[in-house]
Chain A
């Protein structure tokens, strides 16, 4: 860990969110794809991930995906435009803002479902 500034944290969060999303993706493909083993097998997994810790976990997956997506766009802007690197810090704060706002939006929209469990 070197004493970098925003760019270092942007990189670290991008890598961590990317690895987390990959882990989630592989579990997700397995849990949805498990319907090929029949309805009982599928529903056992389905009822497990319908428990509240997993439903709240999905909010964090959503936030991680939004961060990774918009930070990825920031990287593309840095790579392919002349002005991108000069504004990377400001863009990163924009990315953080979008991530936090979409996390709150998802939490707000899903609040009754998360609490009520339907």
Chain B
């Protein structure tokens, strides 16, 4: 994990290109997700009651390709952003190497399953 205050620090601290790319990815995806997710919460929670999210309403909404794309973008970006954020936490708190490998492996598997499930759901309508 990079504990940097500025981009220059981050470049000096990163052990690998991958680590620096993840650092940059967190900033870019975060900036995009601010708009996507606050918009999603406003449109589907503040304006509309969640009791309206019935089977028919959800199927009708997700049949629209624009919402498919919007929701899939949130799904992909937020899962990658969340998985990398949780990886930072795991690397901070799970100190023993064998445990860390198990925890990470299990966690990445769950994330991959959720991603596959969400993608299949979105594009099966």
Which residues of A come within 8 Å of B, CB atoms? Answer: 15, 18-19, 21-22, 25-26, 29-30, 32-33, 35-36, 39, 42-43, 46, 49-50, 55, 58, 62, 65-66, 69-70, 72-73, 75-76, 78-80, 85, 106, 109-110, 113, 117-118
Which B residues lie within 8 Å of A85 (CB)? 5-6
CB distance from B63 to the nearest CB of A (A): 11
Which B residues lie within 8 Å of A65 (CB)? 37-38, 41
Which residues of B come within 8 Å of A, CB atoms? Answer: 4-7, 10, 27, 30-31, 33-34, 37-38, 41, 45-46, 49-51, 53-55, 58-59, 75, 78-79, 82-83, 85-86, 89, 110-111, 114, 117-118, 120-122, 124
**Contact call B46/A110, Cβ cutoff below 8 A:** yes
Provide the bound-state CA to CA distance between A55 and B53, in Å. Answer: 13
Given contacts A26-B110, A26-B111, A30-B114, 10 further A-B contacts (CB under 8 A): A19-B86, A26-B114, A36-B120, A50-B50, A62-B45, A72-B31, A72-B34, A76-B30, A79-B4, A110-B46
